[in-house]
Amino acid sequence: MVARLRAMGAREVIEAASAHEARARARASGPGDLAILDLGLPDGSGLDLLVELREAGWGRLVVLSAADDAYSVRAAFVAGAQGYLLKSASPVVVAAGVRRVLDGGVYADPSVASLLAAGLRGSDGRASHVSEMSGREVEVLRLVSDGQSNKQVAARLGLSALTVKSHLARIARKLGTGDRAEMVALAMRAGVIR
């Protein structure tokens, strides 16, 4: 990937092998024009890192992953990605996707674009608001779907129980229901959580 980026004219390419290293390098360098990251990092969630980079002001965010399932694709876009590329893609497809994102567009690898589109069709009005959820809200709802209490979710994410309650209140407003089971069902139907 580094060679591809340099061939495309990148002047500076910073690499990281883990979420921890990526956070440290991102803080040291400040927001850049482009970040390409994997979802499966050895020490953390690529979705969380994606949200953090977006909030820190990074210009363009692209996921390069082996995951080609509907959940991963949709969750990446919900978390703020403008592009989703597969590691198995040809160099031509990867370069085209990166260029499209750098030009201000949105790109999904052709083999996963249909998964993304399928989640946008046939949903009721409330389910369409699932796309408005932040990456952290998706993470909270995913843990709720596992049957965890607010206190357990807080401990797992390093948050206070009050913060988890606030996230759930925002999710409820976006989805039009305060019922935990219905929130989870809407998010599952939209493919945002499994």
**For 5-59, how does the pLDDT look when each residue is reduced to its tens digit (9 = 90+)?**
888 888 888 889 999 999 999 999 989 889 999 988 888 888 889 889 988 998 8
Largest CA distance in the chain: 51
**pLDDT number for residue 8:** 83
H/E element, 86: strand 83-86
CA triple 33-47-133, angle to 5 deg = 100
Cβ atoms of residues 164 and 152 within 8 Å: no
Domain ranges of the chain: 2-120, 125-189
26 SS3 class: helix
What is the value of pTM for the model shown? Answer: 0.62
Query: How far is 68 from 130, CA to CA, in rounded Å?
Result: 20
Query: How far is 167 from 36, CA to CA, in rounded Å?
Result: 27
Which CATH code for domain 125-189?
1.10.10.10
How confident is the model over 86-111, as a mean pLDDT?
Answer: 88
**pLDDT number for residue 120:** 47
Asked if the model's pLDDT at residue 119 lies above 60, the reply is no
Separate counts of helices (H) and strands (E) for the chain = 11, 6
CATH class of 2-120: alpha beta
What are 86's strand-pairing partners? Answer: 65
Give backbone dihedrals phi and psi of 145, rounded to 5 degrees, phi first: -65, -20
> What does the H/E/C string look like for 43-73?
CEEHHHHHHHHHHCCCCEEEEEECCCCHHHH
Name the range with the highest mean pLDDT among 66-80, 98-112, 116-130.
98-112
Residue 165: burial class (beta carbons within 10 Å; 0-12, 13-18, 19+):
middle
22 SS3 class: helix
**pLDDT number for residue 161:** 92
Cβ-Cβ contacts under 8 Å for 139 (sequence gap 6 or more): 45, 47, 48, 157
